[in-house]
Amino acid sequence: MTGSNDSIGKAVRDFLAEAEEIIDQLNNDLVSMGDCAETGDCNPDLINAIFRGAHSLKGLAGIFGFSEIGDLAHNMENLLDSLRLGRVEITPVMMSVLFDAMDLLGALVRGAGEGHLDASGIPLMVSRINACASATQKSQEVSPLATLGLTDAVLNALTEYEEHRLLENVKKGRLIYSIIASFSLTTFDQELGELTDLLKQGGEVISTLPTVGSGSEAGIDFEILFGSTKGEDGVSGLAGRPGISVRQLGAQSKPTSPSQPAQALEPLTASSSVSAHDHSEAASPAQPAADAAMTAKSMSRMVRVDIVKLDDLMNIVGELVLSHSTINELVGKVRSSGFSTLAIELGKAAKVLQRKLNELQKGVMEIRMIPVGQLYEKMSRIVRKVSREQGKKVDLRVFGADTELDKLIIEDISDPMMHIIRNSIDHGIETPEERIRLGKEEKGVIRLSSFQKGNHVVIEVEDDGRGIDIARVKKKALEKGLIQENDPLSERDALELIFLPGFSTSDTVTDISGRGVGMDVVRNNIAAVSGMVDIETRPGQGSKVIITLPITLAIIKALIINIVGRTYAMPITSVLETILVERSDIRTIERKEVIQLRDMTLPLVRLGRFFEIEGGDVLPESFYVVVVGVAEKRLGIVVDDLLGQQDIVIKSIGETFKGFKGISGAADLGDQRTILVLDVGGIISEATRGSV
């Protein structure tokens, strides 16, 4: 399938969705493994989970014919298998190789989805993985297991993985226990699972082996090898059930007596008589508890849905909303024609339809909403990678991860967020040496926080680095001819220069930043989803980037306005109020039109002039001003008429109008008309920059 330009089929799309999910989880688990690798104490369950993830990806790629992806996943799986079996140790080099391999896997999967999978990087990555595995082979050591006093039967029954985990526990100074537990034949799988979960709260369950202990014909015994820092009494208390014998291995302590005689053991749940057939199956040592717990049912009740299908569904809802508006108009006409009974019945039906439509709209909207935490998980990966490349130490702190946002908006702001975080590490966070010299903590802090504010979600990226050097920004702008020597420029105006195309304060181009493609792209991408971005900075204390976003772009309520005979929709979430203004109320400050609105001077934008509409400069004696605001910014938009409010579905206007300032999409009205939807954030940005 490499290099295929054919449109991908449903099966391949299913593969891509599942592969992306596995890779996301693997990335998160690798980040956790990187953290615990620094302390040298990794949870074996975590390593096993990563190993299984690589194994699943290999199998999935093989099924769908992506042999290149399967080959790379297979080599990762081998390295992870060696790691979990204790043949190799975690090193910084190994973590770097694993992270790079995950990057390549992600790129391969994305390439497969776009029909141009580039496998040229796989041979080098495979050689790095193999070199990593051979270079970190552990030296042979004298096994300390002999001091535990385990019988040959037990030692021979241990798998390589179990033996490795036993050794690891011994090396870490944990006490090793042999726990003999008896269960009823009918419920042993459930009871053994419950006991294992209890024990895991205080240590590691290393191995579970069928054994002979109680001699009861109505039960089955298991010997559990358990590693813990707790004493015998603590382990006995942890088990929390009768019929348990706990013995510390490698010590002179005597085994504790069972709480009750073995022959008196009763199942924890009601038991029934066991047939000979049941007995023979349950007593077979070849069928441990894990097999008994197997089920064909899925563990998850979640259904993966293509966002395109949700968009289609939302469009249908939008059209139904428009149809409902038409029906409402007909109700009014029928009522005015004198058919009162018919009008009443039709009105009742319209209200029921509206209620159901609201429920349907709410349901579809909720499906599209996902927690911002999913975005933060990706960002944690970026922080780790960039900080490692920069030789800096960064502590990422996350707040408000459960704040929900439209899936499409989260996708669209992923790249801008990544750029902002890269900038924070590259330009903001100082090196460890510099931070110590400045009296700061060696490790810098980046805070990602989000919260809902009205109909918007605010995401803040804050660092405790050096902040933005305003004098340096002005100097660079002067060198580039963006400002003149004597231009009056406030600190706020200087920060706005950062968003100009091609502007950078970096003297050198790095892989991270300084290429002149930066905050202007960030602002444009955020504006494309009707969002706003703002910056606050304090010298020596850090910077904060504030992103204000609408919760959804699916169905919104809009104010329909008219300018020079043309109709536009304005998202009602941005509208603060509408006022009627006399022409004589307009004043001019620094060549900009303003009005006095209570105790605030409100800058005005004539929408007709903004879109360069013929006749847009003409202002009647009295006119409407729509006061809009995003974040802390306010603007008055001059319009000719207000036509009312209406629910609309914003649709993309495609590449033709890409980059056209002030327009975010199009929408259909109930009377078969299509109108443009204003990008209020973009208009405010243009007005703030003095472009209009």
What DSSP designation does 214 have?
Answer: S
**Active site annotation includes 491:** no
Helix ranges (H only) for 581-641 are 607-610
Q: Residue 677: which H helix or E strand, with range?
A: strand 674-678
The C-alpha torsion from 190 through 196 and 199 to 203, rounded to 10°, is -170
Q: Return the closest-CA partner of residue 60 out of 106, 15, 111.
A: 15
Distance CA 400, CA 323 (A): 39
Question: Of the residues 68, 75, 77, 419, which is catalytic?
Answer: 77
Q: Return the closest-CA partner of residue 323 out of 672, 557, 571.
A: 672
Q: Which residues pair with 398 in a beta bridge?
A: 448
Distance CA 576, CA 637 (A): 11
Q: Return the closest-CA partner of residue 216 out of 289, 279, 133, 140.
A: 279
Crossing angle of helices 188-200 and 232-239, in 10° steps, is 130
Q: Let me know: does 227 contact 246? Beta carbons within 8 Å.
A: no
Question: Of the residues 18, 28, 48, 55, which is catalytic?
Answer: 55
**Active site annotation includes 156:** no
Distance CA 572, CA 580 (A): 18
Q: Residue 83: which H helix or E strand, with range?
A: helix 67-84
Q: Which residues pair with 462 in a beta bridge?
A: 447, 544
Distance CA 677, CA 667 (A): 7
**Active site annotation includes 77:** yes
Question: Of the residues 423, 462, 496, 686, which is catalytic?
Answer: 423
Here the tokens at position 554 are: 């699916």
Q: Let me know: does 203 contact 196? Beta carbons within 8 Å.
A: no
Q: CB 275: neighbour CB atoms within 10 A?
A: 9
> Hey, which residues are catalytic here?
55, 77, 423
